[in-house]
Structure 1
Amino acid sequence: MKLFFMKPMEVKSVAIFMAIICLSSFSAFAADREIKLTGKYLLIPIANHDAKIRPGKLTVSVDDVLIFSCGAKTAAKEGQIAWWAHIDLSEYKGKTVKVSHPNSKHFMSSDEIKNTMPLYQEKGRPQIHFSQMRGWNNDTNGMVYYDGEYHLMWQSNPMGNNMGNQMWGHAVSKDLVHWQELPLALRGFGKGVEKRHASMADGACYSGSAFVDHNNTLGKQKGKTKTIVAAFTDTKLGESLAYSTDKGRTFTLLREHNPVYTHKKIGRDPKIIWHEPTKSWVMVVFAIKEGARNSGMQFLVSKDLVKWEETCFVKGFNECPEFFQLPVDGDKNKMKWVLMGADANYMVGDFNGREFKSTGKGKMDTIHGCYAGQCFSHAPDGRVIYVGWVRTLKLGKDLPFNQGFTLPLELTLRTSQRGQRLFASPVKDLEVLRDKELSSLKNKTLSGAENKVVLSPKQKLVEFNVTIKADDQAEELIFSFDGVPLRYNFKRGGFIPENGKPHGRSGFSLDGTPRNFELRVYIDEASVEIFAEEGSAYFILPRSAETVGEPVKEISMTVNGGSATIKSMTVHKLKSIWKKSNQKEVDRSE
């Protein structure tokens, strides 16, 4: 099935069906095998796309405790191996695990992860964006900052590069640029099993949030280390909690209270925040009330994180709520709340701890090309930093990873001609990736016979910055990044693709119809990420299939009608975020 042509709710329904199929297929033919854990990983060979093998149910147990469960399509012979998945079992090293799967012949234990191609150097692997080491990702989850670390979690299928087996991947960073991947935060499919891993849910672990329990509401704190709490949808129960007392390294489900909230019909994706004025916890969760058209965000409040009271319901939003507060134009005396859905459509308003009321002109959008993003809870200095799921990458079918994430985007709320609206800019932390300057221009006029500028970076990782001033007769400015076109229409004040239809909705328009604006572009191995006019419009596009993983050959600018002046323009080579074992940068841009 082609999931990307379905509606978001249909995609998630199909994912549940796929997970059920994966966990039920051939279970009657599963064969048990014992493997001595001589290393910290259990390595599992994933079959290539063309292998005529159906997935089977995989379970792993230690001392009669279920520690892993999912569906997996594994290779029956060496020639079928596309890549190696792994399960981190370092806590059980030295023990013997019982593996149950129809095809476990090539499973093995090792202290090293096995690669069929150089790790983090696979063609198309994002080099300035974080991506998970193995498997599929979709929604960002559980994003939280604590004790100098940003925690990024996500919907992960660790046993395949397709959607399914939803668990929570996990990585941490001290600088929002370089990331260390950790073992799974949450794992699923333990329903009906009493003796199971502490982090194992009943069903699939769908999207949710994480936060720091600063006041020890759950009473789980150990010593001075604050408890990190994850809120997620357990597909067999409802909205559930898990907690970590070791700075997010391991999570334990709150089994004595889960689920803390159950929907009357359909719902998922809890976002939980602390509301200081009312000394209450607030949950915002996607819900369908009475009929598919009556969907939106349900607000709930709680004093103990366990008993929840429904308050207001805001119609018109879909999936993965995000809810945060921002100062208007940087003025902390003028704070507003922003309610956002999975498609990054948002509404600005006021919130008294129980009721959210819009104060804007209805829903607006700024962010395009990604989906189901989230912001870090408790980010320092009041920053609101968003990371979204990029689902447009054109990558190989047998690569060990699939999908990716946006750059971290800092969101601000500003007064514009269209009311109070979000702006999305790349975080300044990314400037450490800037390498040598490749080219620059100042005060270059495009008009008449000289209405085109062509640059040849010949690098894989590029940052492009330009400031443009056009005269009153200029009709259109055309940028092209190795065949990825971008048209700016001066009359509309917006970006229009080659087929002539507006790129999405109003979010691709700048504020008003400016003839002076700046453009910042980041080009990675598989994507082109664009910020216009300080983030008034943001979008991420895939590179063409022919240019994925290749050096950028050409960046061009052309004006139609009138003239435009390039006030300033710079092109920089960027460094990769990945490091080899010797701690030197893996420079993939040559």
Structure 2
Amino acid sequence: MRQITITADKKYLLIPVGNVKGWTIPAESIQYLSIYQNGSLVEEYEVCLDASPRCWSCLYLERYAGETLELRLEGGDESLIELLEVSDTLKDADTLYREPMRPLAHITPMHGFMNDPNGLFYLNGKYHCFAQLNPYGLGVGNTHWMHMVSSDLMHWQELPYALLPDETGRMYSGCGAVDLQNTSGLGKDGIPPVFLFYTPAGSKSRWSRGKYFEIAAAVSTDGGMHFEKYAQNPIVQHIAYMNRDPKVVWDDQNQNWVMVIFLDNDRYMFLYSDNLLHWEQGETIRIRGSAECPDLFNLPIDNDMTQRKWVLWGSTDNYMIGHFEGRHFVPETDVIEGPTHRIDSAYSLEARSTGGYAAQTFANLPNGRVIQISWIRTVVSQGPFSSCLSIPNELRLVSTEQGPRLTVKPAAEVKDLRECSYSFVGRGLEEFERIPREYLGEAMDMTFKFSMKPDKLIAFSVRGVLIVYDPKIERLLLPVGAYKLALKDDTFELRVVTDRCSVELYADDGKFNLTLATVPDPTDISILPVLLDPGIGIDFEVHKLKSMWE
């Protein structure tokens, strides 16, 4: 073990992060970086330091405000501890958010590996987004909660990490809730408390060996800018296996809080509370084909406020529709399969594991809107980050012949990133060749509308990604497999949003949506016909998107 002493008199401790293949650091490469304050362990991380790092990450020092800290490094080349640097300036300050691999229209962290979105809420004109983050590696580990804020859902500012791992475990997924009525009694000076509910993932780190997965809370009394872990955690003790991922909502009809957590396999459990602090167990529900990261939200059918229903969502995108009778959830449907499960794969069963995962909706949105963001699991081979979040999608419940169904469409705010636009109506396939290049880019929001002919394939490519619709077999063919997509009329309409790490698709008026976790060729911004009958008419519009970081 090697150790050094620093004074926390600047903003950051800069850490050289080595590149690692795969999702985790190989056991033989793990180093333990520990931070001691007055002889007590206050932070510990698994790292892979490198003299020629892929990026320089930062550990925020403001919470130690001038204190003396002892840093210890165990494992591997322990002399690399000498590279750690206390600074007021990030190493990549001149290039941050302008890297060639960074998505233009999707949330990404400054540094590190990001996964599940967490804790989404709206308060005082600000959207808050949290996410699972390993700031000190490019794979899973050291799980913090990243914190970002926005005034328009599209331009985001990253703040210091909201939750740090501790002796109870890594900070696994959860949600946010705004206690507008101060049912918890923890509000101060008339400001409603804001809760983050999270999963202390015990035994996922050396520091937390022997601990279980439990449910805990952190509370903000300053409008959601700073959070303190609740002194009487856990609020829900261990129930089963790696129970996790609490989603908490207010049930206005029954005047109580509802929590749903993942238990194991495809089992989820409801819990109920009057004050967010004390919870009683309720029923267990199975969501076939799902695991982890539940979501729970309330929507009217066809915007009829007298016909409101609850939607219980399980990852990836299966859901059930129902209602509450007191403190009991009553399903009104069987499990409704989401688009990723309507697959006939020519490749493997893993093809259903497409980009969108762990979707979560915002709490406390005005005007009853339900907006959801998911994790896009794109592995990025260079740059200071890996993976991104989806664009914000607005959800609605609509009537269909099969009963009420969800529609998922890009939120209206996505239009705020449009830089320039081009369109044509009722033209033929040759018109794609006439699109002026200045309207094309790596990030685009496009809508295609084809007049179909029986037995005639529609095949085209967007940024090198082949998209095929076969009306004869009612299948949408994508690089990850063939998906069932039955259309009502002779028109095939598809909205496609591309960026540097993803391709998001929406069809059938939002009843079909899918995300491809892919890195398109940065030099290929083309839209090309591959197989289109000359008699097929095309309506088309494209909006080039500018960077959300500008």
Structure 2: give runs of 5+ residues left out of the alignment.
203-211, 341-353
The answer on 1:87 being equivalent to 2:59 is: yes
**Shift of residue 377, structure 1, vs aligned partner:** 0.9
The answer on 1:99 being equivalent to 2:83 is: no
Structure 1: give runs of 5+ residues left out of the alignment.
1-28, 192-201, 580-590
* SS of equivalent to 1:44: strand
Distance (whole Å) between structure 1 residues aligned to residue 247 and residue 414 of structure 2: 27
1:389 to 351, 355, 375: 375
Say whether the 8 Å CA contact 1:55–1:74 is kept in structure 2.
Answer: no
2:155 to 178, 199, 207: 178
Say whether the 8 Å CA contact 1:454–1:556 is kept in structure 2.
Answer: no
2:298 to 325, 330, 336: 325
**Shift of residue 97, structure 1, vs aligned partner:** 2.1
Aligned to 2:283: 312
Distance (whole Å) between structure 1 residues aligned to residue 458 and residue 319 of structure 2: 29
**Shift of residue 498, structure 1, vs aligned partner:** 5.6
| Letter aligned with residue 404 of structure 2 | Q
1:466-513: per-residue Cα shift (whole Å, max 9, x none)?
222223x353211211321111122344412368x423xx5xx25x44
2:409 to 422, 425, 447: 425
Distance (whole Å) between structure 2 residues aligned to residue 452 and residue 475 of structure 1: 19
With normalisation by structure 2, the TM-score equals 0.87
In the TM superposition, what are the counterparts of 1:344-359 in structure 2 within 5 Å?
Answer: 344-359=317-332
With normalisation by structure 1, the TM-score equals 0.82
Say whether the 8 Å CA contact 1:346–1:363 is kept in structure 2.
Answer: yes
* Percentage of pairs with the same residue: 32
Distance (whole Å) between structure 2 residues aligned to residue 387 and residue 223 of structure 1: 32
In the TM superposition, what are the counterparts of 1:29-428 in structure 2 within 5 Å?
Answer: 29=1, 31-49=2-20, 54-64=29-39, 66-75=41-50, 77=51, 80-102=52-74, 103=78, 104-115=81-92, 118-188=95-165, 190-191=166-167, 202-236=168-202, 237=212, 238-288=214-264, 292=265, 295-315=266-286, 316=288, 317-360=290-333, 362-366=335-339, 369-391=355-377, 393-396=378-381, 398-428=382-412
1:443 to 413, 426, 431: 426
Distance 1:481 1:272, change over 3 A: same
Distance 1:464 1:148, change over 3 A: same
2:502 to 502, 523, 527: 527
Distance (whole Å) between structure 1 residues aligned to residue 500 and residue 431 of structure 2: 29
Distance (whole Å) between structure 1 residues aligned to residue 227 and residue 243 of structure 2: 23
The answer on 1:578 being equivalent to 2:544 is: no
The number of equivalent residue pairs is: 514
1:389-444: per-residue Cα shift (whole Å, max 9, x none)?
001x2521x4310111110000111112332111111111111111122x432211
Which deviates further from its counterpart, 451-460 or 132-141?
A: 451-460
Task: Give the superposed CA RMSD.
Answer: 2.5
| Letter aligned with residue 375 of structure 1 | T
Distance (whole Å) between structure 2 residues aligned to residue 106 and residue 239 of structure 1: 37
Say whether the 8 Å CA contact 1:459–1:573 is kept in structure 2.
Answer: yes
Distance (whole Å) between structure 2 residues aligned to residue 255 and residue 212 of structure 1: 19
* SS of equivalent to 1:432: helix
**Shift of residue 279, structure 1, vs aligned partner:** 1.9
Distance (whole Å) between structure 1 residues aligned to residue 414 and residue 64 of structure 2: 38
Distance 1:260 1:119, change over 3 A: same
| Letter aligned with residue 422 of structure 1 | L
Aligned to 1:502: 482
1:124-182: per-residue Cα shift (whole Å, max 9, x none)?
21111111111001111111111111111111111001111112111111100000101
**Shift of residue 463, structure 1, vs aligned partner:** 2.1
Say whether the 8 Å CA contact 1:300–1:308 is kept in structure 2.
Answer: yes
Distance 1:183 1:452, change over 3 A: closer
Distance (whole Å) between structure 1 residues aligned to residue 479 and residue 442 of structure 2: 24
| Letter aligned with residue 311 of structure 1 | G
Aligned to 2:208: none
Say whether the 8 Å CA contact 1:451–1:559 is kept in structure 2.
Answer: no
Which deviates further from its counterpart, 242-251 or 370-379?
A: 242-251
The answer on 1:476 being equivalent to 2:457 is: yes
Distance (whole Å) between structure 1 residues aligned to residue 504 and residue 434 of structure 2: 19
Distance (whole Å) between structure 1 residues aligned to residue 252 and residue 479 of structure 2: 49
